[in-house]
Amino acid sequence: MASEVFGASDRSPAHNWISAALVFETCSLYCVLLGAAAWAAQAGAGAWVQAPLVLALGLWMDRMFTVGHEAVHGKLFPDHRRLNDLVGALLLAPLLAPLTVVRKIHAFHHGHNRRAPKIATLDVVLLPRAPGLRRSLAWALGWAAWLLGVFCGGFYVHGLVSVVLFLLLPTGVACRISPAFKGWRGRHRLRAWVELGFGAAVHALVLVGCGRDVYLATLGLPTLAFAWVYSLFVYIYHYRTPLGADVRGNVRSLAPGRLFGWLLLNFHEHSTHHGDPRLPWYLLPARRLRGPAPGEVRTVLGAVLQQLRGPIFVDRPEI
């Protein structure tokens, strides 16, 4: 039951109203941005009008993903699991992110975050121990994959391709590729297909019903902008943090900021979120477990730019 994961003591008595207001704010501003983008496309507005709208939609789609993340944890409407999952699935649909798959992968992330090199990590590249062409090639490919993943939207593309592959592959094969899918059942696969299919249908209906220009302005290009924003932000809380068995400690928080806190629901309090995933977004600042340690990067921009240092290269362990 959701209440066993997220008890009444972990939330405000007005929690359901807070969640309802959050969903209303997120959806209403999304609709306003969609309307403005559709109008700009139909009116033939120049790039100086359409480009900021595309970027704004991409940023707001990242907000939608963050609200969906609350649903993934069962924290939107914990006393009404079906409503929680329905709202979360609808918010994630335009992003082509099936809630069922995101929940499965995210649970693995919380349980195994940076436990060891290549276990729930994105920034570690294993190199052959022997010097030579293979090692040099692995180093070059590691750098290229990292730059494409972080700065060119690659982490979103990788996630989308992974979702499709896991839905197509037999469960046994999928589990050999990623242990995150242990316990994956037929009902999970069916539900994920429905969620992904609904998202794809939304894209198709807008394209067919509204035309190419409106589709590109409202969904096509904003999804690419979201892919870029998501990939920039997705690992800033874990990049070059410790590796080890303390999976709740292998994470950093960033300096609070009102605009960022509002836009991404206090996600900069990431150490607190990992320390107690039951806490809803609005309690993270008040229940802060720890802030950035001295000497660590503190701002969101600094954390994004720090990723230019590249991946961490580790010698492949001997078998």
Mean pLDDT by 10 residues, the chain (319 residues): 48 90 98 97 93 97 97 95 97 97 94 92 92 94 97 95 87 85 88 96 97 97 97 95 92 82 90 94 86 67 94 84
| Contact indicator for 22, 11 with CB cutoff of 8 Å | no
Give me the phi and psi of 237, to 5 degrees please: -85, -10
For residue 99, the one-letter residue type is L
Q: What pLDDT score was predicted for residue 298? A: 83
| Contact indicator for 40, 53 with CB cutoff of 8 Å | yes
CA distance 170 to 190: 13
- The sign of the dihedral angle between the CA atoms of 124, 126, 131, 135 is negative
Which of 101, 32, 94 has the alpha carbon at shortest distance from 64? 94
Specify the pTM: 0.92
Structure tokens at 2: 């959701």
Structural domains of the chain, count: 1
| Contact indicator for 286, 243 with CB cutoff of 8 Å | no
Which of 104, 69, 96 has the alpha carbon at shortest distance from 281? 69
Q: Which domain holds residue 131?
A: 2-315
Q: What pLDDT score was predicted for residue 256? A: 64
Q: What pLDDT score was predicted for residue 288? A: 84
Which of 116, 145, 141, 114 has the alpha carbon at shortest distance from 127? 141
Which of 114, 143, 138 has the alpha carbon at shortest distance from 240? 114
